[in-house]
Amino acid sequence: MTPFEQIKLHIKKATENLKLTDAETATLLKPDRVLEKTLSVETRKGKEELKAFRVQFNNARGPYKGGIRFHSAADLAEVEALAAAMAIKCAVVGIPFGGAKGGVTIDPKTYDRNEIEKIARAYVGAFFEHLGSDKDIPAPDVYTNPEIMAFMLDEYEQLAGHSEPGMITGKPLSLYGSKGRDSATATGGAIVLASYLKAVGKKDKQTVAVQGFGNAGGTVAKLLHNAGLCIVALSDSQGTLYRKDGLDPYAIDEAKQKGGAVTSLYCEGSVCDAEALAKDGAEVFPPEHVLSVPCDILVPAALDNVITKENASEVKAKIILELANNPVTPEADELLKKREVKVIPDVLGNAGGVTVSYFEWVQNRSGYYWDDAEVGSKLKEIMEDAFLNVYQYSLSKEIPLRAAAYEIGVDRIIEAMRLRGRV
């Protein structure tokens, strides 16, 4: 099952439960626009022809919104899935955007900064007529960053002949980015998790395992540690570090900066200090082991489709917070449901990122910029309200949180489409 087929399955279940017509369902499941271009870019290898995509998925609630990824695995199916999920995500948290996603099929690690700039500018040139603060607002995604957004903004404004900072988000602060954007995904996830624990009355110290120690995973580990939760396991592509009495994510981050892995606190490459591990009661395992360590809460914060029907039975956590996009497959969802494992879905759990992107867009359009406290306060309000809506809906309908989130999102989108006479 492709990523898009997985997302369509969730949407279709929601349309069935909401009793939408076949025509309404068909409209919801079809992107408004699928754009494919070939970028011609001069690099050290010569003139390269690079595949590029932009999928715009339903703008009934507002301009399209979604990131651009530079990745060798980026393809149309992946981009379609992420665009559809973004449409749902924006509706779930109640911000006035539709869904979009873009990508360029490259391995960015094989290009230098000058070549990446050329690719970024070529992308904007190829899709220029479809972008804009009232049309489609890109943002950073996998292997893109604020600097690349700056290149894209500059290219767009040169082509347009006017200043338009609101055409893209995730920009550097010096080019009218928003404070709080770098940590927004993790902060939003931490707010939703705290709201869930409060709602279900879990007051004791919860143990947490985080898969992925990049920006989202590393930041959420620190936020949860600061909130008094016990981080028992952290992982990256090199391995898993586990300690039942808890790890200090700040110390792990410092060690990773020097050694390149979360295990670098005890290991140099594959050689680990057994005496130091034994003394601290810590253990080192393969990367995938983080999914099955004893813990109360598991936070997949890296790749998609990591919890499957093959390994769902090994998950010991009773709560899963999806900080990554689509980390639990539909088959695994059903198995986890039977075991009463509660999954906080990605369309709610990682929506803090797009919410602060919305804040950036609002600030760009008004020309008035907020401090960290204002960004944090507004994010907390939106994420708590969104969680409460999803949680109460799930209780009233006696359905999982994912089903509740998708039904809320689909209902809001279809209502906008009906009011616009599109269905």
Question: Catalytic residue positions?
Answer: 101
Residue 219 has φ and ψ, to the nearest 5°, of -70, -45
CB contact set of 108 (below 8 Å; sequence gap of 6+): 70, 71, 116, 143
Dihedral (CA of 259, 262, 265, 266) sign? negative
Cα separation, 156 vs 151, in Å, equals 9
Q: Beta 342-344 vs 319-321: how paired, if at all?
A: parallel
Distance CA 237, CA 380 (A): 31
Strand order in the sheet with 98-104: 33-43, 46-57, 98-104, 64-70, 136-140
Q: Tokens representing 116?
A: 């990446």
Please check whether residue 79 is in contact with residue 53, taking contact to mean a CB–CB distance below 8 angstroms.
yes
Q: How far apart are the first and last CA of the chain?
A: 28
CA neighbor of 4 nearest in space, from 89, 78, 56, 103: 78
Distances (CA, A) of 48 to 114, 154, 352: 14, 23, 36
9: Cα within 13 Å, side-chain hemisphere: 13
What H or E segment, with its residue span, contains residue 258? helix 249-259
SS3 61: coil
The sign of the dihedral angle between the CA atoms of 23, 28, 29, 34 is positive
Map residue 344 onto helix, strand or coil. Answer: strand
Q: CA 107 to CA 129: how far, in whole Å? A: 26
